[in-house]
Structures are given as C-alpha cells and as structure tokens.
Amino acid sequence: MARKVQFVETVLRDANQSLIATRLPYDKFEPMLETIDKAGYYAAECWGGATFDVCLRYLNEDPWERLRKIRAKMPNTKLQMLLRGQNVLGYSHYPDDFVRLFVQKAVENGMDVIRIFDALNDVTNMKVAMEATVKAGAIASGTISYTTSPVHTHKKYVEMVKELKEMGASTICIKDMAGIMGPQEAYDMVSAIKDAVDLPIDLHTHSTTGLAFMTYLKAVEAGVDIIDTAISPFSGGTSQPATETLAYALRQLGYEVDLDDACTKKMADYFKTVRDDFVKDGTLMPKSMATDTQCLTYQVPGGMLSNLLSQLKQMNALDRFDEALAETPKVRADMGYPPLVTPTSQMVGVQAVRNVLDGQRYKTVSKEIKAYCRGEYGKTPAPINPEIQKQILGDEKPLTGRYADSLKPVVEDTRKKLGDLAKTDEDVLSYIAFPNLAEKFLEERKAKEENVATYSIVEC
C-alpha cells in the first residue's frame, strides 16, 4: 500500500507573509475558504506569525474575529497557527499567565494545531505554551528552528526532539525558515528523528535558495509525513514551493496524496488575480520572487528578506541591500549564532541595517538587542561575542535562569486597566500583545459603536 504524504497549505499565513509582508486582508481570501476546506489538506496555516500584528497595525481587522470567521467557513480542515513560545506573537517574553490564557483562547476560537518554536531553540521557553496547548486539547507541534552553524548538529536537534516529546508534542516540525536545508541534510535529519521518536514529522521550508523541491522529495523518501506548500500563485521565491507541483510529483513517485485537483485549480485561478493586484500596487517586489543562492551563506528567511527590503525602501537605501545582507551573518555570529526566525531575525536584520547605515558597527543598538544581550530571550546556542556584549551592556551583568520567572502576572491588572474598553478576554490579550495598536483599534471600535447607537436613536 502506498504511503500517504499530507500537505499544509500556507497561503493564508506564511506564503503571503513571505511575499507581501502579510498584507492579505480577510475579504481578499474569504471567497476561497470553502474551497480550501474541501481540498483535502492536513491543515491550513492561517494565524499566528505576523498576522496578529498586521491585522491591528495595517488591515484594521480584529485578529480574533478573523480566526472565528475562518473557522466558520472551514469546519472540516484543521486550522494551524505559529506561536513563538514565550514570545507568543510579539517580540519579547510575556508572563506565564498571558501565555496560558492566549493558548486557551486561541483553541476556543477555533485553533487545532499550534506550532510552537523558540527563536533560540531553548526548550525552557516552549514549555508553558506546550503544556497549555495539551491542556486545551489541541495538537502541540514541537518545532525545531533549523539552522546551520559550528554549534548546530543533528545530535543536538535529536536531543531537543526528545525533550519536546516529553513536554507533550504530538508532532515534530522541522522549520527551515531560510530555505537552507539541502536534500541530503533533510534525508539525514528526518532519518535521525524517525529513529529517535515515533511521532509524525512535518517539514517546513522556503523556495528562497531553489533547494525546496529537492529537499522535500528526499525528506519524503526518509519518511517525513507532512510538508508545507503554497498554492502556485503565492509559491516560489521567499514563499513555499507549489502545492500542485509537489502533489503531481509525489503521485508520480507512487505516494498517496489526498488533495482534490479540482479544488487546487480553483484556488490557483482565484489567487492569480489576488497576486496580480499586489504586483500592480508594488507590494509584491520582484526580489521576493527571485531565487537567491546567497541565502545559503546569509541564511535570511523569507519574511526577514521582505522586511529588510521594506525597511531599506522606507529609508531610501535600497542600494545598500547587498551590504546589509553581507552584514547579517556577522551580526548573527556576534550574537551566538541564533537561528534567524522571528523575533531574532528582525533583531539581527535591523541591527545589520543600522551597522551599515551608521558606518560603524553597534553605534546604535535597539532595546531588543540590549535585552537579548542581557539574556532576556533565553540561552544562546553559542556564547555572545564578549567584546560586543560588553560594548552593548557596559557594566550591566547578564541574567541567569529563565527570564519569564521574573515577570509578574499581567492579565488581571490589564483587565482592570482597560475597563469597558475591553469586552472580552481576547481584547485584553490583544492589548497585552500590542498595547498601542490594540488601544487605538479598541477606541475606534467603541467610537464606531457609539455612532451607530446614536444614529439608531435618531432614526427611531
């Protein structure tokens, strides 16, 4: 009997995050939700990552309402989100009470699979989110942030996988955010994990370097169970490889694929027109669609690459892109070889841009990099360059132990602070995650409701 390979569709989250900086509003993809639901995917990744921030900051959407609407339109497919461990959806660590309530509410609002990772692969930063996911009855997908460096080895990754299983992981995800995993590495790593634990393995990669199709085929050969792909109009470049192409290739190789080709064709036809709109308004830049083998050296993931381009464009410094790209691995080495995934990718990328534009390394340093050097993000894979750490911290001593243990509970105090501005726990959670953005959103919502109420009274 042919072995089955399942698919996660990423167009609703990572594909559009990687290509168009997550600027896909709900009403642009809503007409296709019922088709996606019928297509036969293992899951649809539709939330988490940057979606929460962008909904509030740019799209004027309530991210919780977006999730509920997707759930209502897609009753038959597992919904999946990306959660940054103790960072949840933000860029710094949150207290445990916030992490637990956030996970609980995500599941109550329709989430089925929570892919939990830590930017440093520090499992102590994943523990509370993993426990909360299991308690809420969802699938906890324990995630490796894949990277290469002098200190990252298959042995280390296997040790991490065993710890994740002990924490309650139902599946293991290898998250190759920069598309740097080659076919042999994929075969060897999947084989090593399969030998160590009896759990389904999901491989996530990007097409950035041109390796992804080959990498997926060798990973499947080694026994990978699930792969992440994007419907063809939103595939390639810094996104995932195309869903339809891999379904075709895997069937030809004798594997069972449950996807309905009529549904994926309908999705592709629809999303072509959506993509064209973003090409016309300049949101989808040609660089994001290109194959960039430099990433094999620089390890810049898709979302980071589009943000780097966007940042330089705002500063009228797109001509410094190659310099910023070359500076990125140098900053990464200084910081102890963190995997380049949110939030460390943004922190390293922003610092690389500052170093280039300032003409002097670490002349200006973000508060996030200072917090990182203090140890607030967890244990780094290798020690931070002591000279750089001293330059950034001065006489301040780095922390020891788990940073979240030093944080006071925040939920109850925030409930009291917001009063009637927050109607639900979800509003409270939005505010804790992004205070300025959420407050503006909640105040505008309140004003709109008051205007509607006044209008109704006049009408009567």
pLDDT, one tens digit per residue, over 146-183 is 999 999 999 999 999 999 999 999 999 999 998 999 99
User: Is 202:225 a contact under the CB 8 Å cutoff?
Assistant: yes
In a domain, 98, yes or no: yes
* Residue appearing with tokens 């609980």: 104
In a domain, 217, yes or no: yes
Mean pLDDT along residues 94-112: 98
pLDDT at 195: 97
Q: 115 and 32 in one domain?
A: yes
What's the CA gap between 426 and 443, in Å, rounded? 15
Boundary residue ending a domain (385, 404, 423)? 404
Mean pLDDT along residues 12-36: 97
Residues 6+ apart with CB under 8 A from 327: 352, 353, 355, 356
- Indicate the helix (H) or strand (E) that contains 328: helix 321-334
Mean pLDDT along residues 57-71: 97
What is the SS3 assignment for 109-154? CCCCEEEECCCCCCHHHCHHHHHHHHHHCCEEEEEEECCCCCCCCH
CA-based nearest residue to 433, from 101, 79, 152: 101
- Indicate the helix (H) or strand (E) that contains 202: strand 201-204
Residues 6+ apart with CB under 8 A from 155: none
Q: Report the alpha-carbon angle 307-360-392, nearest 5.
A: 85
Boundary residue ending a domain (280, 314, 342)? 280
Cα separations in angstroms, 121 against 29, 118, 152, 203, 374: 33, 5, 10, 16, 17
User: Is 334:385 a contact under the CB 8 Å cutoff?
Assistant: yes
* Residue appearing with tokens 């973000």: 366
Q: 425 and 385 in one domain?
A: no
Q: 246 and 220 in one domain?
A: yes
Q: 255 and 186 in one domain?
A: yes
Q: 62 and 151 in one domain?
A: yes
pLDDT bucket at 91, cuts 50 / 70 / 90: confident
Mean pLDDT along residues 43-48: 98
Q: What percent of the chain has pLDDT over 70?
A: 98
pLDDT at 455: 55
In a domain, 1, yes or no: no
Q: 432 and 400 in one domain?
A: no
pLDDT at 2: 86
Tell me: pLDDT of 406 over 60: yes
Q: 429 and 369 in one domain?
A: no
pLDDT at 288: 87
In a domain, 161, yes or no: yes
Tell me: pLDDT of 69 over 90: yes
Lowest mean pLDDT among 103-112, 207-216, 334-343: 334-343
78-83 and 43-48 beta bridge pairing: parallel
Q: Mean pLDDT score of the chain, rounded to an integer?
A: 94
Beta strands in 24-99, from DSSP E residues, in sequence order: 43-48, 78-83
As given in the structure block, the two tokens for residue 35 are: 């088709």
Q: 258 and 306 in one domain?
A: no
pLDDT bucket at 401, cuts 50 / 70 / 90: confident
pLDDT bucket at 241, cuts 50 / 70 / 90: very high
Q: 399 and 432 in one domain?
A: no
DSSP 42: S
Q: What percent of the chain has pLDDT over 90?
A: 86
Mean pLDDT along residues 431-446: 94
pLDDT at 63: 97
In a domain, 170, yes or no: yes
In a domain, 48, yes or no: yes
Lowest mean pLDDT among 344-348, 438-442, 452-456: 452-456
Q: 196 and 179 in one domain?
A: yes
pLDDT at 302: 61
Boundary residue ending a domain (237, 253, 280)? 280
Q: Report the alpha-carbon angle 20-21-22, nearest 5.
A: 90
Q: How many separate domains does the chain show?
A: 3
Q: 293 and 268 in one domain?
A: no
Within 13 A of 25's CA, how many CA atoms are on the CB side?
A: 11
227 has which bridge partners? 7, 203
CATH code, 241: 3.20.20.70
As given in the structure block, the two tokens for residue 452 are: 């509607």
In a domain, 245, yes or no: yes
Tell me: pLDDT of 303 over 90: no
pLDDT bucket at 459, cuts 50 / 70 / 90: low
Residue 438 domain boundaries: 412-459
Lowest mean pLDDT among 33-47, 96-110, 446-460: 446-460
Q: 274 and 198 in one domain?
A: yes
What's the CA gap between 296 and 279, in Å, rounded? 27
Dihedral, CA of residue 385, residue 164, residue 152 and residue 210, to nearest 10:
-120
Terminal Cα distance for the chain, rounded: 69
pLDDT bucket at 106, cuts 50 / 70 / 90: very high
Mean pLDDT along residues 279-306: 82
In a domain, 209, yes or no: yes
* Residue appearing with tokens 């009753």: 75
- 400: helix, strand or coil: coil
**DSSP secondary structure string for all residues of 206-270:** -STTS-HHHHHHHHHHHT--EEEEB-GGG-STTSPPBHHHHHHHHHHTT-B----HHHHHHHHHH
Beta strands in 6-129, from DSSP E residues, in sequence order: 6-9, 43-48, 78-83, 113-116
CATH code, 382: 1.10.472.90
